[in-house]
Structure 1
């Protein structure tokens, strides 16, 4: 999928979550973790656990991230940087 099509297929919340994961990820390995509390702080309380699940599924579908652990209040991830970034 080319860059333009990728961003057109992501919602504003999914893009914001991706940017948050980039910020929280290790700059060398791209691995990181994020709590639901941090996500709610940055994306708002209306961003529910269900919204998070849908968003990470979509980001994984587009090969932007890999979720290594998804627990009720915490996720661990690896960033998968596309060639165009």
Structure 2
């Protein structure tokens, strides 16, 4: 799901996960990212690092839906 970078907030939430707990629950970074995206739809942009990285970090930013809808509307009017 590619989102226009202009619609993503400059602020983000950085979450560092505990590797031992992740291993105990047999979870991957990708699985966690997918669940967050499913729960919030297109409202969030989730970036995660590889499961083998030294620190397991999720970076979550909000997506401004109003900017994207305004852009879509302006594109529609220019096509007319």
TM interval, shorter chain, is 0.3 to 0.5
Q: What is the TM-score of this pair, normalised by structure 2?
A: 0.38
- Which of the two has greater strand per residue? 2
Q: In terms of Rg, which structure is larger?
A: 2
